[in-house]
Amino acid sequence: MSKRLSLNSAFIVLALLVVGSFSAPSFAQEQATGQSVDEAAEDVIRLDKLVDALDKKRIAREKLQQAISTSTDPSAEDRRDLEELNSDIRSLGNTFEILTVGDIDDSLFKAEENVPFDWQTELMLVLEPVLDSLQSLTEKPRQMTNLRATIELNKRRLQAANSAIQKLSELPTIDYEPDTQVQISTLLNRWVNQKESIEQRLVGIEAQLDRLESAEESGYNGVLPSIKEFMLGRGLTLVLAVFAAVVAWLVMRSIWWVFSTHIITKDQRRGSLWFRLLSYSFYIVNIIVSIIAVLTVLYLREDLLLLALALLSLAVMALGIRKYIPSYVREAKLLLDLGAVREGERVMYNDLPWQVTSINLQTVLWNPALEGIVRLPLEAIECLTSRPVKDKNWFPTRKGDYVLLPDSTFGLVLSQTPELIELRVKGGMIKWIRTSEWYSMSIINLSIGKSYGVSVTFGFDYSLQAISLTDIPLTLEQGITNALNDAGYKKYVEGLLVELQSAGASSIDYLIFVTMDSEKASDYFAIERLVQQTCVAVANEQGWNIPFPQMVIHHQPV
């Protein structure tokens, strides 16, 4: 019980001292601000009490350690009390140092000057030559940087040590009790020893830095010998490796050229599946042979650094290729003409029909009716599907065709490209239409086929009803035939039809349909006008009335 009371009383004293230490400034700080004699005396009393508490804690710890050492089975409570006493003694010692020295950054003396980092434990064994080479290249700059950082750290340590020594030297030790004076003297000696150690360390580090800087200045004079050494060593190895790769590539290409031109026929090169498979396999073999040539040169030259870099590059390439293997398989099927798109078939791209002329790294699409071709990468045709060509209708028009658009625009096709259709319309004006829009239009092509038709509707008055089925059709047919012959269309007229079409509201309407040879497609509107003029001329000659729209009003008497 007495032991527990003594521990409790010690904790109370410790708490009071710690609270007092945080609530009042240190002795040195009060002196700097012109403190009074009474306040200085209070600081002396506070330090004396702190040392007394520290002595009591140490005595209690010694007794408890003796009790634990003599006991065969020490209790857990005794061990816990011993840990608490050790913690209290450390805390009291730190508090005493803070009150006497002031707030010194203790982390400066705990920071390590140079922490080595071993990359070899983190990387594969094959990277060891690479790391050794990088380490040799950056060894001197890293050493100089570390030395400068160490000098800066020790200067800050020296400044802190001088500050602590100054504050301890300024303490009025004569006013303290002997135990307090001994504690202050011990602390002062420790700081003096620390300062001397730092100064000695600084002298050695600065001398080492001066040596490295002087060696760096003299190293600039050895640039040319270093370049010469590189050219005769690793530089020559690189040149030989590149030369071996080029020679291996050319030799393999020559072998393939002899095989594909003198042994394999032209028909086999175009349509044989096994030749296509062999062709693309050859590129892989060619690359492998070139890589083996490079690695062989590096191995024979015993350049472990370049060999390690080459193996590392191959490993990175292998990891990257693994991600794209599914895409490569799809592209390989296309290259082998085994995919959804095949050579010679028809495919729709950008809403236009195309013929697949060749599948390669750059696939060529061609439309016989358009000027130019389209080249697409393999990934662009993966989503397309082709079908066999069963007809030759690649496009609704050709260059030089006369067309009639849905808005009754009549024009001549001047050019057709994969992007635009150039059209000449009335008055010689030029009109451009996007090719995809042109393909989706309902275009009447007057030039395709052997013939085209011109349809005209003409009406006569009901007063001619008696001869509407006899004289009028015959007279109109004869007049139109004569007019076409006189205009030079005799050999181009393939048919003429004149029939009563309907009995309208105010006229008897006749259908005149002229079938013309496609050679005269450019005269479509001219023939239409000629038929209209001939109908009016016949009506004038025969005295037949041409009606006009009438409105009949029926009046109901009231």
For residue 31, what is the domain's CATH number? 1.10.132
Better-scored residue on pLDDT, 556 or 90: 90
- Residue 138 CA: distances (Å) to CA of 143, 145, 205, 416: 9, 11, 19, 65
CA torsion 320-321-322-324 (nearest 10°) is 100
- Residue 250 CA: distances (Å) to CA of 146, 243, 257, 276: 52, 11, 10, 21
- How does pLDDT run across 56-98, given as a tens digit for each residue? 778 888 888 888 888 777 777 778 878 888 887 887 777 677 6
If asked whether residues 441 and 459 sit together in one domain, one would say no
- Give the whole-number percent of the chain exceeding pLDDT 70: 76
Length of the chain: 558
Calpha distance 81→5 (Å, rounded): 12
What pLDDT was estimated at residue 6?
40
Better-scored residue on pLDDT, 8 or 402: 402
What's the 3-state SS for 317-354?
HHHHHHHCHHHHHHHHHHHCCCCCCCCCCEEEECCEEE
If asked whether residues 434 and 496 sit together in one domain, one would say no
| Axis crossing angle, helix 128-169 with helix 76-101, rounded to the nearest 10 | 70
Has residue 111 been placed in a domain?
no
Nearest Cα neighbor of 26 from 50, 55, 53, 58 is 50
- How does pLDDT run across 495-515, given as a tens digit for each residue? 999 999 988 888 899 999 999
Nearest Cα neighbor of 351 from 440, 250, 444 is 440
**Strands 362-366 and 373-377, sheet pairing:** antiparallel
If asked whether residues 419 and 475 sit together in one domain, one would say no
Checking if the pLDDT of 150 tops 90, the result is no
What pLDDT was estimated at residue 380?
83
What pLDDT was estimated at residue 427?
82
Domain boundaries, position 417: 402-445
Lowest mean pLDDT among 90-94, 121-125, 317-321, 458-462: 121-125
Contact assessment for residue 100 and residue 27, using Cβ atoms and an 8 Å cutoff: yes
DSSP 93-142: HHHHHHHHH----GGGGTS-S-----GGGTS-GGGHHHHHHHHHHHHHHH
Better-scored residue on pLDDT, 32 or 57: 57
The mean pLDDT value for 168-194 works out to 81
Better-scored residue on pLDDT, 58 or 431: 431
Number of structural domains (the chain) is 5
If asked whether residues 269 and 173 sit together in one domain, one would say no
If asked whether residues 440 and 455 sit together in one domain, one would say no
What pLDDT was estimated at residue 38?
61
Q: Which tokens is 443 given?
A: 């275009």
Average model confidence (pLDDT) across the chain: 77
With cut-offs at 50, 70 and 90, classify the pLDDT of residue 110: low
What pLDDT was estimated at residue 527?
92
Highest mean pLDDT among 154-158, 477-481, 546-550: 477-481
Q: Which residues share a beta bridge with 515?
A: 453, 495
What pLDDT was estimated at residue 553?
52
With cut-offs at 50, 70 and 90, classify the pLDDT of residue 474: very high
Has residue 363 been placed in a domain?
no
Has residue 329 been placed in a domain?
no
Lowest mean pLDDT among 53-57, 458-462, 521-525: 53-57
Domain limit, last residue, from 387, 411, 445? 445
The backbone region for 151, taken as left when phi is positive above 0, alpha when psi lies in -120 to 50, beta otherwise, is: alpha
Has residue 39 been placed in a domain?
yes
Better-scored residue on pLDDT, 462 or 555: 462
With cut-offs at 50, 70 and 90, classify the pLDDT of residue 113: low
Has residue 421 been placed in a domain?
yes
If asked whether residues 70 and 12 sit together in one domain, one would say yes
If asked whether residues 151 and 74 sit together in one domain, one would say no
The mean pLDDT value for 175-187 works out to 81
- Residue 29 CA: distances (Å) to CA of 40, 107, 119: 11, 22, 49
What pLDDT was estimated at residue 27?
38
Nearest Cα neighbor of 348 from 379, 387, 378 is 387
With cut-offs at 50, 70 and 90, classify the pLDDT of residue 29: very low
What pLDDT was estimated at residue 329?
75
Has residue 406 been placed in a domain?
yes
Q: Which tokens is 105 given?
A: 């950054």
- How does pLDDT run across 303-333, given as a tens digit for each residue? 777 787 788 888 888 777 777 777 777 777 7
Which secondary structure element, helix H or strand E, spans residue 493, and what is its range? strand 493-503
Domain limit, last residue, from 270, 291, 323? 323
Has residue 359 been placed in a domain?
no
If asked whether residues 268 and 199 sit together in one domain, one would say no
Has residue 268 been placed in a domain?
yes
Calpha distance 489→522 (Å, rounded): 13
Calpha distance 366→373 (Å, rounded): 5
If asked whether residues 130 and 211 sit together in one domain, one would say yes
What's the 3-state SS for 362-386?
EEEEECCCCCCEEEEEHHHHCCCCE
- Residue that the structure tokens 């599914």 belong to: 326
If asked whether residues 435 and 462 sit together in one domain, one would say no
Domain limit, last residue, from 265, 294, 323? 323
Nearest Cα neighbor of 31 from 22, 20, 43 is 43
Q: Is 458 exposed, middle or buried (0-12, 13-18, 19+ CB in 10 A)?
A: buried
Lowest mean pLDDT among 24-38, 312-326, 416-430: 24-38
The mean pLDDT value for 216-231 works out to 57
With cut-offs at 50, 70 and 90, classify the pLDDT of residue 14: very low
Lowest mean pLDDT among 229-238, 293-302, 308-317, 353-362: 229-238
What pLDDT was estimated at residue 515?
92
If asked whether residues 162 and 96 sit together in one domain, one would say no
| Axis crossing angle, helix 304-323 with helix 325-335, rounded to the nearest 10 | 80
Contact assessment for residue 457 and residue 510, using Cβ atoms and an 8 Å cutoff: yes
